[in-house]
Every structure is written in structure tokens, then in C-alpha cells.
Amino acid sequence: MNLATLLANVARRMGDAPAISDGDGTIGFLPAMERISRIAGALHAAGLKRGDRVALVMENCGAFFEILFAAWTAGLCAVPVNAKLHPLEVEHIARDCGARWLFTTPGLVEGLAGLETSIDTLERVVCVGTADYAALARGEPMAPVEVDPAERAWIFYTSGTTGRPKGAVLSHRNLLFMCHAYYADIDQVDHRDVKLHTAALSHGSGLYGLPLLLRGGRQIIMPGFDVPAIVETLSRHDSVSMFVAPTMLTRLVHSPLAAGMRVDGLRTICYGGGPMYVADLERALELFGPRLYQIYGQGESPMTITGLDKAMHVADGAGQDLRSCGPARTGVAFRVVDDEDRDLPTGEVGEVLTRSDCMMEGYWNNPEASAQTLRGGWLHTGDVGSVDARGFLTLSDRSKDLIISGGANIYPREIEEVLLRHPDLVEASVIGRPHPEWGEEVVAFVVAKPGAEVGAADLDALCIASIARFKRPKSYRFVESLPKNAYGKILKRELRDLVETPAPDDWP
């Protein structure tokens, strides 16, 4: 059940057929597996033991997959981390999971080099493309170790409603189930298929690279989302699939280049991770035809809760199906329940629960959060929605407070805690405001001490020093007080009403 064993079997069959392409070139399956086995051997020789965690804080590049599979070959657990996070956020994750090694890329290494001294467990920070990394690829090769299906393979760090990152522990079984669900529901794939990566490999795009790699499909990796590069790639390749955030799909369909894009080589665009406007979906269907698949999932049940397949993407004028995220995926169950976990009737809104072999083991080193989220044997998603008579799920919200901007989850409390470090702030409350390109943008309502002079630029500098830039507020509202209920709880729904119309003091 070791995923690396499955790749080794594919490599023997595929030989030198292209496996992974990036800006540095293309490597075949068998040469790639040779490098993977040598890097794994070097990790083993360095004293890393079965189950140890290896962090991957990397910009998109082919080395991501060879490190991922080298870790699995050696029986280690990979911890892919969003490359856009602030170094302090990376430090927290690496410390929380007890990472022993951390792999990174040239654009990030300067900000992460000091972690070797600040994290007790961390022995080495290795940058790809250096002599240190090249030396690992000259290690003594090793065959993939045998693992139990339940052994940990990937820790996916997500944030709870408190904003504290939590590591969803995913096993080899979870990831293999995810691949099988891909084959059952999305596409049967083989060596002729190509996965084009324009989104972060540490998240959905990397996860959906696995189904194709394990069937001999080729990976083409771009540094980021680039419409001209996508158009050029589609002009040269057939049977191409992509995973994109809804904001990426929106940018693609509104690009002037989209109208002239070659689409007969495009097989599937999977999208998910946030809300998608019906008008943009209808435009995408006009441009690309029946090639869209919507995914609803979470890091705790990666990519695999419900799906709106290609045939269900029908631009019928009313857009009813397009507002939904489809029925349960193959082998997956979900429910919509009330506050006491009782099933709700068709059409009533409640929390979405799910259960399958894709469901995480729990949160790393966080038994309280694990027990709460997995109570009753079901994953409590925190998302709110309803199910219709056909079994189609429609989400009403992505939880009460969660903001999704550019496909990235942003948790208000994390930002609020940073803002409240300012000595002249009394209160802060962060919400999301609809944005035509990014889905949502962050707005902060702040209350200063009487007579204090607090500038938006000061608050922005505080955020930039502490959290990733994409999380910082794009607008600050200075108010005398925040609306509260009788129990003193801030009424964010009233704040959301206020941001529908921009205020003159919005900044910038």
C-alpha cells in the first residue's frame, strides 16, 4: 500500500517516457524513480526513521514530487506547506509537526534558513538546485519500505475557526482512495494523459497529480497561474487536465486569449476551494464545452466529498445545478444536520458532515480538536448547506467566519489577533467582502482608544510583519464601536451588511 511502490511499478512499465516537466526540463519515469530511490536512501542514511516528518516548503517545481515520493519510499511522512506563508507561520507548522528536515526552493531559502536554530527537532534545511541537494541524489538507492495502509503519508495543515493551524493527518489509504475516486468519478486516465499544474503543489493541484502519476500520466509544472503559458501549453499537448481555484477559472474565461485557445486537447478542468459565480461558469461552458468538474472537499477529506460532473454542468438559464456542488462522490457519504447532529429534511440548511475512507485520522497532536471534529464517527466540516431531493448539495456558506480569497482559506481570528497587538486598538473584527476577481477580500473593522491616532498604514505594516501578505486586510474601517448582541458577541452579519457599499475612508 506504499504509494511509492505503486509509482515504482509504473516506472518499470513506462521506462523513459516523460514523467515530470518544469522550467528545468523533463525527466522520464525510470530516471525519476532512480533519483527518488537515491534521495530516500540518503534520508535513511542520515538517520531519519519511519514516521518522521519532512516539510516541503517549495515553490512549484518538479523536485516537489521527487521529494514527496522519496519521503514515502523511506517510510516518512510528508508535510507540504503553502509557499506563500510568512516565515513565522512556516516556523509554527514545522515546530508543531516536529519536522526533522525541511526542503525549500531558491526563492524561499533566505527567509527559512534560520529555522534550523529556532526549532529543536529540525536538523537540516535543504534547498533544491544546490550542491547539498545534488549530493542526496547520489545516495545509496533503496526500495520502498512496506507500510500499513493506515500509516501517515501527508499532513495537510489547515486552519480552524480559531485561526490556529491544525495538521490533518492523511494516510496512504486516504490518498489511494482519493485516487480511486478520481478514476471512478472524473476520468479514467493512462499514459496519454497530462496534468498541467498552475496552482500550488502543496494543495489541491499536487494532490490531483497523484492519480495521473500512478497511472503513467505526465506532469507539466508551471511556477504559477499564467494565462499565456496555459494557452501555449494547450496548443502543444493533448488530453490535458488542470486543477484550478475558482478565481483562476474566472481569470481564464475573462482573458482575451481564452477565445482563441485550442480546446480540443483539453480534457478536464477541475475546480474547487471556493464559490464560483454562475455567470462565470456559463461563460466557461461556452468557451470550453463539457469539460468542467466541480470538487467539494477539505484538507480533512482531500478533494473528495461531493462533485458536480461534466454532464451536470448544464447552462439551463436558471443555473440551478451550477449553484450546487453535486452529489456524493463514489464511496462517500454525507449528511446535513442540526446543532445536535440530527439529520435535517430536504432543503433545510445545516452543517455538512461526511464519512469515507478519505477521512483523516485526526489532527496532529491535537486530540481535543480531533474529538470535536470527528465526533460520532463523522467529519464535521463546519460548512453550511442543504441537500435537495436528488441528493445534490448546495453550500450556503463556507462556515460563519471563513474568508476564501483566490482559493486560499483566510481565518479572521488570526488577523484579529495580529491587529490587536497594536497598543492603541481596543477591538478588531475581520470579515470578507465580495470581490469580482478573487471571490472575497479581507476587510477589518477596528476600534481605537479614545483620542488615539491609529493609521491604516501602521496596521498594514503590523500584518505584513506577522502573516502572509494575501491575508492582510485590503480595507480598514475605523469605527467607534462594534455591533454586539446581548451576550457581548460581535455581530459579524451586521458588519457584512456595512461593507456592501464601500466607505469613503476605505484604505487603500
Q: 355: buried, middle or exposed (CB in 10 Å: 19+, 13-18, 0-12)?
A: middle
Contact 139, 39 (CB under 8 A): yes
Q: What is the pLDDT of residue 439?
A: 87
d(CA 366, CA 25): 41
Percent of the chain with pLDDT over 90: 75
* 25-147 topology per CATH: Rossmann fold (3.40.50)
- Specify the DSSP element, H or E, that contains 37: helix 29-45
213-to-39, 62, 307, 416 alpha-carbon distances in Å: 19, 12, 22, 41
- Residue 486's pLDDT is 47
- Name residue, grid cell 494547450: 234
Query: What DSSP character marks residue 311?
Result: G
Per-residue model confidence (pLDDT) at position 349 = 87
Which pTM was predicted? 0.86
**pLDDT band for position 485 (cuts 50, 70, 90):** low
Same-fold call for 25-147 versus 403-498: no
pLDDT, residue 315, reads: 61
Q: Answer yes or no: is pLDDT of 144 > 60.
A: yes
The strands making up 194-197's β-sheet, listed across from edge to edge, are 25-28, 18-22, 218-221, 194-197, 240-244, 266-272, 292-298, 301-308
Residue 161 has pLDDT above 50, yes or no: no
- pLDDT of residue 20 exceeding 80, the answer is yes
> Helix-strand-coil percent breakdown of the chain, rounded to 5?
30, 25, 40
Q: Which CATH class is domain 403-498?
A: alpha beta
Mean model confidence pLDDT for the chain: 92
Residues with Cβ within 8 Å of 285's Cβ and at least 6 positions away in sequence, in order, are 292, 313, 315
Q: Which of the residue ranges 124-128, 376-380, 469-473 would you say has the lowest mean pLDDT? A: 469-473
Lookup result for grid cell 446535513: 336
Q: How many angstroms separate the CA atoms of 143 and 132, rounded?
A: 22
pLDDT of residue 178: 98
pLDDT at 508: 40
Determine how many CB atoms are found less than 10 A away from the CB of residue 256. Answer: 7
Please compute the mean of the pLDDT values over residues 359-364 and round it to a whole number. 98
pLDDT in tens, 162-192: 457 899 999 999 999 999 999 999 999 999 9
pLDDT in tens, 61-103: 999 999 999 999 999 999 999 999 999 999 999 999 999 999 9
The pLDDT of 268-287, averaged and rounded, is 86
Q: Within 13 Å of residue 312, how many CA atoms lie on the same side as its CB?
A: 21
Please state the rounded mean pLDDT for residues 98-111: 97
- 286, amino acid identity: E
Higher pLDDT, residue 488 or 448: 448
pLDDT value of residue 398 = 56
CA dist 19 → 10, 11, 172, 269 (Å): 10, 9, 21, 20
Q: How are beta strands 240-244 and 266-272 bridged, if at all?
A: parallel
- Residue 304 scores a pLDDT above 60: yes
Task: Assess contact for 422 and 462: CB atoms under 8 A.
Answer: yes
- pLDDT tens for residues 432-470? 998 888 888 999 999 998 889 899 999 999 999 999 999
pLDDT band at 134 (very low <50, low <70, confident <90, very high): very high
- The reported pLDDT for the residue numbered 273 is 81
| Tens-digit pLDDT profile for residues 410-436 | 878 789 888 988 989 888 899 999 888
User: CA–CA separation, 264 vs 146, rounded Å?
Assistant: 42
Domain ranges in the chain are: 25-147, 403-498
Question: CB–CB of 275/404 below 8 Å?
Answer: yes
CB atoms within 10 A of CB 373: 21
- Cβ atoms of residues 341 and 374 within 8 Å: no
Can you tell me the mean pLDDT for 315-325? 69
pLDDT band at 140 (very low <50, low <70, confident <90, very high): very high
- Statement: residue 149 has pLDDT above 80: yes
Where residue 507 falls among pLDDT bands split at 50, 70, 90?
very low
Q: Is the pLDDT of residue 296 over 60?
A: yes
Residue 491 pLDDT grade (very low, low, confident, very high; cuts 50, 70, 90): confident
Least confident of 147-151, 342-346, 402-406: 402-406
Residue of 416, 117, 402 lying closest to 273 (CA atoms): 402
User: Are 336 and 343 spatial neighbours (Cβ–Cβ below 8 Å)?
Assistant: yes
- Are 173 and 357 in contact, with CB atoms under 8 Å apart? yes
Q: Which residue has the higher pLDDT, 48 or 394?
A: 48
pLDDT the model gives residue 489: 66
d(CA 384, CA 190): 37
**C-beta of residue 149 within 8 angstroms of C-beta of residue 9:** no
220 pLDDT more than 80? yes
